[in-house]
Structure 1
Amino acid sequence: MLILPVLLLSLTGGLLVYKQELDQWLNADLMLIEQYDLYTQPLSVGQLQKRIQTAYPQARISWFDLSFYKESGYQQVRKSGVQPAAVFWIAGMRNDVGHYHAPVHNQIFVNPYSGEVLGGRKWGVFSVEQPLLNLMPLIYKLHYSVLAGQEGRVILGWLTLAWLLMIPVGMYLSWPHHSALRYSNKSKKQWRQDLLHWLSFWKYRKGKSRFQNDFFNHRWLGLVFTPLVVVFLLSGLSYNLKPVYYGIFDPLNQRQLSHKAIETSSLGQVQPMSLELAVATGQHLTEMWAKEQGFERLQPVGLSHSAFKGTYLYRSYSSLDYSDESAKTSVWFDAHSGELLARFQATGASKVDVMTAGFEAVHKSELGWWSRMLSLLLMVASVWLAVTALRLWLFKYRARRKGVRKKRSVAKSAKN
Structure 2
Amino acid sequence: MSQIPLAGRPLALALAALSLAACDTTGVDGDAFVYATPGTDAAVDLVQDAQGRIVVVGSVEGRPRPADGTLAFPAVLRFDLDGALASAEVYRDLGFGAVVGAATTDGGLVVSVASGPDEPGGSALRVLRTDERGARGPTVLDVAGGYAPPRSVVPLPDGGLVVAIDPGVADRPQLYRFDADGAQRWAVRVEGVQGLTAVAPAPDGGVYVIGWGAEGGVLARIRPDDGTAVWRRAAASEWTPSALAATADGVAVAEARSRSGQGSAVRVVRYGAADGAERGAVEVARSAGAYGDGNRERPVSSGPVAALPDGRLAVGWMRVSGGLESPPDAFVSVVGEAVGPVWRFGREGRWPALNALTVLADGRVAAAGALGPARVTGYGGDDFDVWVALYDPG
After TM superposition, is the score higher than 0.5? no
- Point out the structure with the larger strand share: 2
Query: Of the two, which has the highest radius of gyration?
Result: 1
Instruction: Using structure 1 for the length normalisation, give the TM-score.
Output: 0.27
